[in-house]
Structures are given as structure tokens and as C-alpha cells.
Amino acid sequence: MLVIDNVTKSYGSVAALQGVSLELKAGEFFGLLGPNGAGKSTLMALIAGLRRPDSGDIRLDGQALTPDNLRSRNKLGFVPQTIALYEDLTAEENLRIFGRLYGLRGALLQERIDQALVTAHLQDRRRHYVKTFSGGMQRRLNIVAALLHRPKLLLCDEPTVGVDPQSRNAIFEFLQTLNSEGLAVIYSTHYMEEAAKLCSRIAIIDHGRLLAIGTLPQLMTRLPFRESLRIEGANLSRDSLAPLLSFGELTSDADAHVLTLHASTHLSDVFREAESAQLPTSSFQLTRPDLEDLFLHLTGKSLRDS
């Protein structure tokens, strides 16, 4: 559905995107993960047709996405990072404006507005000014405002920045529901938990380059390390842990032992053997590599520190 082919974009001497290529299928929930300044918003802006790439090509269903091509815009919905709503207007007035910009009129527009307000759980607040809404309510309205024209692809540029956990979860559910109904979503974030939770495929981006792309398990295979068990207990000797050596490699330090599991190992087998050997399984801590580890591995720096 969406094809991004070797796109570059610079702002003066700063290269915001360098040779970015990816494809998106209909109905996908695609994550764009990277730190602030990685190039996520620039890529979103190019896909939304707000800017023109210096080189390369972006096409949606074969149509070029450029600032000049307005025809393809009806297939896109764009949720900006900021709450892009008119605060001094009511929820309904905001939706009416954005609906009209996409060419909706009359009964159809009213129907879509009503549906959007129900979806955002704001039907009782339709005539309230947006400035009186909580942050979560504004975020929900911010999202449904991009859906009135029934786009095929929704671009969410860090839609949960500054949102409390409860509202964030509500937004996740909301987006997952939309996605389950067939809407393709590109979701940019610098929160790895969000990408891991929501996205069927993830692209990791830093300094304008796509470092990795794939499903979460596919990405994890790029890590040279695997799941491990941290076994704490000052009185446990390496000999006492001998029954577990067949499941992985054991390393020890002053505080604990770490059993790095073989790829083929099933955790249930490890715990069964440990209980047989009367080892204190309650002190076992499982450590799984995550996107943070992957990012650290790919860039040499922590995602949160970037």
C-alpha cells in the first residue's frame, strides 16, 4: 500500500533522513521507533505530503505523496504530535471544520461527527469548548479528527506525549480497535513499550537512517544475546547449580549467578529441573532482551539517553 523508496531529506547541512526505504501493507500497525531528533517526524511529514523529499519517492497506492498532489490526501489521516485543535471552539465545531476540509458535507458529515464523538467517548461533551477538556479527552479528539474521512492509513506522530498512563492505555485500545477494523497505522514513538505493545512491525530509526525493521521476534534475533536467568543466593555454589548447566552457560559474580539460556531451551524444563534439585526457584529472575537492548546494540547508546 505505502512504498517509501530511498528517501533523503536535509535541512541545511543537517541530514534528517538518509536513504530510507520501507513498505507498508494494508491493515498493518507499523511502529517507527527512535529517539527525539532521529527523523521520525520528518518521515511522517514527508508521508503526509507536508514536505517534499530531496530525493527518493513516496507512494500510496501508486500515487505520489507530495505537497502538490492533493488527490492522495483523502487516503491519509494525520495526527500531529501537538494537540492540533481550536481550543476556543467546541468539539463538534472542530470536527466540522476538519471534516469539511476533506470535502464532507451535510448529513454524511454530521453522521461522521456523531460517530467520531461516540468513538472518542465525547458525545456528552460535543458542545463544550476544547479548552475545558482534560489532556486525555483532547488527545482522543485529536485522533478522531483525523478519521472523519475514513482514511486507509493513519499517521500518528507521537500521539501520547504528555499523556497520563490511564489515558495512554485508552488511546492504545482505541487505536488497536481501529486497526482491527482494517485501518493501517504508522505510529511514531520514542517509547519502546508502546512500539512493542502496539506494533506488528517496527522500524528503528536514528540519525535519519533505518537501523532495523521487522516484527519484534525478528528484531530480537539480531541481538547476540538471549534470555537469561539471574539466580541470587549467597549460599549457592556453582556445584549446586550443576543440574542446570545443560540448559545454558553459567557465569558468576560476587552477588549472583547468571544462566544464559540456549536458544532451544524451554523455561519450563529449567524450572522443573531446578525444583527437582531443590534449588530456590523463587529467587530466579528471568531477563529477556528488549527493544532497549536492541537499540543499545544497534547504536551503542540507550534509547532513553538519546
Binding footprint of other proteins on the chain (CB under 8 A): 45, 48-51, 67, 70-71, 73-74, 76-78, 80-87, 98, 101-103, 145-146, 155
Cα separation, 222 vs 189, in Å, equals: 21
Q: Which is nearer to other proteins, 85 or 241 (CB)?
A: 85
Which 3 state secondary structure label does DSSP give 171?
helix
| Minimum gap (Å) between residue 128 Cβ and other proteins | 18
| Minimum gap (Å) between residue 71 Cβ and other proteins | 7
Q: Which is nearer to other proteins, 131 or 197 (CB)?
A: 131
Q: Enter the C-alpha cell of residue 28.
A: 498493518
Cα separation, 177 vs 180, in Å, equals: 5
Q: Which is nearer to other proteins, 59 or 222 (CB)?
A: 59
Residue with cell 494537540: 83
In contact, 32 and 43? CB cutoff 8 Å: yes
Looking only at the bridges linking them, the beta strands covering 184-189 and 153-157 are parallel
Q: Which is nearer to other proteins, 138 or 299 (CB)?
A: 138
Q: Give me the phi and psi of 199, to 5 degrees please.
A: -95, 135
Cα separation, 46 vs 3, in Å, equals: 12
| Minimum gap (Å) between residue 157 Cβ and other proteins | 8
In contact, 86 and 97? CB cutoff 8 Å: yes
| Minimum gap (Å) between residue 108 Cβ and other proteins | 16
Listed residue (58, 133, 62) closest to 94, CA to CA: 133
| Minimum gap (Å) between residue 33 Cβ and other proteins | 21
Q: Which is nearer to other proteins, 116 or 213 (CB)?
A: 116
